[in-house]
Amino acid sequence: MTAHLDTFARDNLPPRAQWPDFLFELPELNYPSRMNCVVELLDRWVAAGHGDRPCLVSPAETLTYAQLCERVNRMANVLTHVLGMLPGHRVLLRGPNNPMMVAAYLAVIKAGGVAVATMPLLRAKEIAYPIGKAKIRLALCDHRLAEEMEKARALAPDLERIVHWGGGGADTLDALMAPPGYDTFIPCDTASDDVCLIAFTSGTTGEPKGTMHFHRDMLATCDSYGRHVLRAEARDRFIGSPPLAFTFGLGGLVLFPLRVGAATVLVEKASPDDLLAAIEKFGATIAFTAPTAYRAMLAKLAERDISSLRKCVSAGEALPKATFEAWLAATGIKILDGIGATEMLHIFIGSPEEQIRAGATGKAVPGYEARVVDADGKALPSNTIGHLAVRGPTGCRYLADGRQRHYVRDGWNITGDTYLMDADGYFWYQARSDDMIVSSGYNIAGPEVEAALLEHPAVAECGVVGAPDEERGQIVKAYVVLHPGYSGDPAVTKTLQEHVKAAIAPYKYPRTIEYVTQLPRTQTGKLQRFELRRMAVDTASHKLAS
């Protein structure tokens, strides 16, 4: 029986017939019917006498497991007793990678709520979308992100209250957490299949999909990938660049370390230079970042002592064999490549160090099954290119979204990636099956960038695709048809780029704009993005040749 008094999340799960098959064959994946995952991730370490272990390390503060537990308890008391959050309520979280953001995640879930985190770089319109889709009444936000949050309030009538942390003031979250007696909190008696997280995808059509995850899912990714591939220990210190609003970041910087009683280093700025400096300063042992960051760090390794590192994890885009080999030669560390999905919560294909094959993503993680299928879902023979299909202890459950039928077919999750599987069960990435642009580990939807460009009066038509780029893997490239009276000069290019940065998250802006007189279209007027991608590849190849 659900603990949710507000049953919105459960009521908006897909029909059971549209769920993927779930596998719980590993004994460690058999969870009790009643379980609050925060108790397993945090409280149990304090109860076992390990409260003095370092848990969250940041430039501003370090929290032990006991100190984080108290902060989570205080926040949970504020949520329930002051802000009126009921079990099942969705709470929007906005903040950089810091201890307060982690505490907010855990407090919402411990109190029986559903956490919905958003990336710090998002603009008001992008923030308003999940608020409306998930019917969110309450937001917790870092005070430094207040401007866009307040703008989003005007676009999101469901949002009733925003509470900021930091910055001082009697009405801040910090002040509300101060009363005596708030240091203890009885965890909500949630069911293991109560929704505790709605993670929104970047979206391929400009409308992100809300992926719904249970309390058991949060542990399942730790007890499959974390336990059998990553194999972290309590002595480890995790570090990484992905935002906590990405499930890649949530898993790598919160779930995996807390599951084994380890510490995590949280840095708000995590450029390759920042990451190298933090690894050296804090003695990090396990790093999570994108292939582009590993490539960028290679040139700077001589300037830093990163001898503490013992494991490196890559995801978000394909790991080039050349990057793997260069990193191995420079550090002696084999990068653990992997593919995950917001729908699956985290990595489901990836191999431990002794099983790695350079250039391959790896094998199916223990607890998961994967195969390559044709357009009809039929399994293909080895060494045949097709669509990746996977199932395991986690899987796709979209929030009130008809696209569920496309992602889940015959019990399998169809991820939208094109792969081949060799005779030994290793999966080799080929390409994305959709129009998603993956740049420096960020998923960027071309149609969303097109929509932003089309809001500018100079733009008559446009098409946006990913163009090959050595540094970022791909960059956003726009093909633009201008209205009469405008010329495609550098000044107009700069104006359009700044326009996009102001409309949507800045990292999504087109780094290259090519002006054309017409766009390739079908006879029915549909934009042929595949033709634009071919043009982008040809241009990139020509530049390399010259």
Residue 419 makes CB contacts below 8 A (sequence gap 6+) with: 361, 372, 385, 386, 387, 388, 427, 428, 429, 430
Domain ranges of the chain: 436-545
Cα distance between residue 519 and residue 481, in whole Å: 8
Please report the pLDDT score of residue 522 as a whole number: 59
Sheet with strand 161-165: strands edge to edge? 161-165, 138-142, 90-94, 114-118, 195-200, 210-214
C-alpha separations of 227 from 36, 140, 158, 223, 344 in Å:
20, 32, 40, 5, 17
* 3-class secondary-structure state, position 443: strand
Please report the pLDDT score of residue 545 as a whole number: 63
- What CATH homologous superfamily does 436-545 map to? ANL, C-terminal domain (3.30.300.30)
Please report the pLDDT score of residue 423 as a whole number: 97
Beta pairing class for 459-469 and 473-482: antiparallel
Please report the pLDDT score of residue 470 as a whole number: 86
Q: Which pLDDT tens digits describe the chain residue by residue (546 residues)? A: 999 999 999 999 999 999 999 999 999 999 999 999 999 999 999 999 999 999 999 999 999 999 999 999 999 999 999 999 999 999 999 999 999 999 999 999 999 999 999 999 999 999 999 999 999 999 999 999 999 999 999 999 999 999 999 999 899 999 999 999 999 999 999 999 999 999 998 754 448 999 999 999 999 999 999 999 999 999 999 999 999 999 999 999 999 999 999 999 999 999 999 999 999 999 999 999 988 889 889 989 999 999 999 999 998 777 888 889 999 999 999 999 999 999 999 999 999 999 999 999 999 999 999 999 999 999 999 999 899 999 999 999 999 999 999 999 999 999 999 899 999 999 998 877 766 788 988 878 787 888 889 889 999 889 999 999 988 999 999 999 999 999 999 999 999 999 999 999 999 999 999 999 999 975 545 678 889 999 998 888 777 665
CB 141 within 8 A of CB 95: yes
Please report the pLDDT score of residue 204 as a whole number: 41
Cα distance between residue 147 and residue 388, in whole Å: 41
Q: Environment class of residue 300 by beta-carbon count within 10 Å: exposed (0-12), middle (13-18) or buried (19+)?
A: middle
Please report the pLDDT score of residue 443 as a whole number: 77
Please report the pLDDT score of residue 205 as a whole number: 43
- DSSP-assigned states of every residue in 383-406: T--EEEEEEBSS---BSS-TTHHH
Is the torsion defined by CA of 402, 347, 225, 423 positive or negative? positive
Please report the pLDDT score of residue 293 as a whole number: 87
Q: pTM of the full predicted structure?
A: 0.87
Q: Environment class of residue 233 by beta-carbon count within 10 Å: exposed (0-12), middle (13-18) or buried (19+)?
A: exposed
Q: Environment class of residue 47 by beta-carbon count within 10 Å: exposed (0-12), middle (13-18) or buried (19+)?
A: exposed
Please report the pLDDT score of residue 544 as a whole number: 64
